[in-house]
Amino acid sequence: MTHTDRPAAAEPDPRRWIILAVLLLAGFMNLIDVTIVNVAIPSLREDLGAASSEIEWVVAGYIIAFALGLLPFGRLGDVVGRKRMFLLGVAGFTLGSAFCGVSPTTETLIAARLFQGLTAAMMMPQVLALVQVTFPPKERGFAFSFFGVTAGIASVAGPLAGGALISADFYHLAWRPIFLVNLPIGIFAVLAGWRLIPDVAPGRREPVDVVGVLFAAATVFAIIIPLVEGREFGWPLWCFASMAASVGFATAFVFWERHRERQRATQLLPISLIRNRHFLLGLAMTASLFAGIPGFFFVIAVFLQVGYGYSPLESGLATVPFPIGVFIASLIAGRFGSRFAKARLIAGPLVLAAGMAGLSVVVSGVTDEIGHWSIFGPLLFCGLGMGTTVAPLFATILTVVETRDAGSGSGALQSFQQVGAALGVAVNGEIFFGTVGRAASGATAYRDAFGASIWYEVAIFLVLALLSSRLRTGIRHGGEAGEGRAPAEPAPEV
């Protein structure tokens, strides 16, 4: 047994649920920061005198830096220690938030957001990895269910908190409190994490796979940049050329990792995972799920605020049924643990698709105004589908990842999550704004555009259900298995 693995018979850490709360707090801080900036765009533009392209990079710079850093920092956590990398990431993110809050110009704000994105990439792979190594397999499904709750709450809390903070205009700081509010949260997470998260010996120190990092970064960059910038520039040829080039970079990455394996050198993403059908299918499922949700919340915010005159606060309140549904479904998921994962991974997306179809029916009957109660039921139903999906999704994907590779596997998982989110926002935005441009003016144009974008959501969740049906049953758990390790525990029942 290696020094990074606990014995199979070891008792789980009695503080594991408190540790989970600290990890979720850090994850929530990252998730809310992605959405909270959107409602501050008018205030940012007015206060800093920024051009539209500069404001876009305040949002896009964070996403790009975050996506680029996930895989290398995830692997680095396996090598230098996940607790150390997590604490460095949270501390850096908190410092980056302070830099954002005091930025005097748009240029310094963009630089601070890039730094924020990189430090978020340092901490987030460690969050999933630490859950995997802290909880025994029978409890991981329930532990992962709280990530669905956190994501659902953050998707609503971001616009709510941003709208409330900007409206309050504390000490005439305008948009700055949306970043400064992270300071007490981040300081608490660092102190609590340092005190509570156990010190686990890092893996064997080996040279960093620099070439692998470069190929992986080029792949992600070539995908994310056109997805983030494409609509703004009218989808020029270079966008499609860049996405095509990403296939070449990805192929070169795989060949290089195989070469590293033959040389018995450390790999950025272990070749055993690249070859694993179950893990690759899980990455595709993750990308599909997140190709739906972030884009949906982006579009519904524009639909309610621009089309029907909702304030940011009112828009956030109108979408509260979604996290309520996520919370209810996640509590129910805890009673199942890791059982029936495949059935739940099929049922959850089907419920999401049905909820979206119901929302389309409701919206199609809207004229000059829309009441928040009219969308309550469909959004609650969608939240139930999301909560049913998230817990078994993460737990099932990480089933085949060795404990020693938990950071690398988590980094890959979240990289695909970010690529899926960028794809979803791009496709949803293109459908929505393209329809608005072709439709008649007024609220009905936004109604028709929102209705059109919802059918993309239905399609993507049906694709997710189809992918879930392809999961194999009887997967053996890799978290405790491996050369020189104790026998693996049973996998979740998929």
DSSP structure string for 92-133: HHHHHHHHHHT--SHHHHHHHHHHHHHHHHHHHHHHHHHHHH
Judge whether residue 491 has pLDDT over 70: no
How far apart, in whole angstroms, are the C-alpha atoms of residue 168 and residue 177?
A: 10
- More reliable by pLDDT, 261 or 313: 261
Q: What is the structure's pLDDT at 236?
A: 92
Report how far Cα 153 is from the mean position of its chain's Cα atoms. 13
- More reliable by pLDDT, 180 or 57: 180
Average pLDDT score, the chain: 83
- Cβ atoms < 10 Å from Cβ of 34: 20
Judge whether residue 1 has pLDDT over 60: no
Residue 473: pLDDT band by 50, 70, 90 thresholds? Answer: low
- More reliable by pLDDT, 412 or 438: 412
Residue 7: pLDDT band by 50, 70, 90 thresholds? Answer: very low
Q: What is the structure's pLDDT at 443?
A: 78
Q: What is the structure's pLDDT at 202?
A: 61
State the distance between the two ends of the chain, measured CA to CA, in whole angstroms: 28
How far apart, in whole angstroms, are the C-alpha atoms of residue 133 and residue 136?
A: 8
- More reliable by pLDDT, 489 or 26: 26
- Contacts of residue 352, defined as CB under 8 A and 6 or more positions apart, other chains included, come to 292, 382, 385, 386, 389, 457, 461, 464
Exposed, middle or buried, 257 (CB in 10 Å: 0-12/13-18/19+)? buried
Q: What six digits make up the tokens of 30?
A: 């990252």
**pLDDT tens digits for range 337-391:** 667 788 889 999 999 999 999 999 999 888 778 888 899 999 999 999 998 888 7
Q: What six digits make up the tokens of 363?
A: 């919206």
- Contacts of residue 457, defined as CB under 8 A and 6 or more positions apart, other chains included, come to 292, 295, 296, 352, 353, 356, 428
Q: What is the structure's pLDDT at 253?
A: 93
Here the contacts of 96-102 (C-beta below 8 Å, separation 24 or greater) are 97/33, 97/179, 97/180, 97/182, 97/183, 97/186, 98/179, 98/180, 98/183, 100/179, 101/176, 101/177, 101/179, 101/180, 101/183, 102/176
Segment 124-145 mean pLDDT: 83
Residue with tokens 């800093």: 48
Residue 14: pLDDT band by 50, 70, 90 thresholds? Answer: confident
Q: What six digits make up the tokens of 477?
A: 């758990």
Q: What is the structure's pLDDT at 8?
A: 43
pTM (2 d.p.): 0.79
According to DSSP, residue 481 is labeled -
**pLDDT tens digits for range 23-51:** 999 988 888 887 788 777 777 878 888 77
**pLDDT tens digits for range 91-100:** 999 999 999 9
**pLDDT tens digits for range 202-244:** 656 666 788 988 998 899 889 988 887 887 788 899 999 999 9
Considering 130-134, 162-166, 356-360, the range whose residues carry the highest mean pLDDT is 356-360
Q: What is the structure's pLDDT at 201?
A: 62
- Contacts of residue 438, defined as CB under 8 A and 6 or more positions apart, other chains included, come to none
